[in-house]
Amino acid sequence: MNINVVEENNVKIAIVNSSDILITDVQSALDFIATVGFETGCTRVILNKSAICNDFFDLSTRIAGEILQKFVNYNTKIAIVGDFSVYRSKSLKDFIYESNKGKDIFFLPDEKQAIERLSRV
């Protein structure tokens, strides 16, 4: 896991890149939130989609809701970046659309948009 911190509009954002899957369940999400928070002091995080298990993107597993609730509970805003057009599920597309209208969880195509969104919410 490689963590870089950027500052935009006086907001510190941790950008986490990993070739390994970092989040597979609720406990790994809690560990991730704690590690990033401890190492950077950031409560806003950008994570590449490939660092999250595939089951996350199958809403019938309920893993996405459980994991993302932990981010909200611990006041950590997250932008997941990647290509989400590969998913055909209408419910997932709706979930992504609704999340992007909020202020805590975002699914965006690239880091630039993620930085912009996280620095203004």
Are 116 and 11 in contact by the 8 Å Cβ rule? The answer is no
Task: Determine the Cα–Cα distance for residues 84 and 41; give it in Å rounded to an integer.
Answer: 29
pLDDT in tens, 15-41: 999 999 999 999 999 999 999 999 999
pLDDT in tens, 94-104: 999 999 999 99
**Secondary structure (3-state) at 7:** strand
Q: Which two tokens stand for residue 95?
A: 């979930």
Structural domains of the chain sorted by starting position, each given as residue range(s) with its CATH number in brackets? 2-118 (3.30.750)
Q: Which two tokens stand for residue 50?
A: 């490939």
Q: Phi first, then psi: give them for residue 11, nearest 5 degrees.
A: -120, 125
Is this model's pTM higher than 0.85 or not? yes
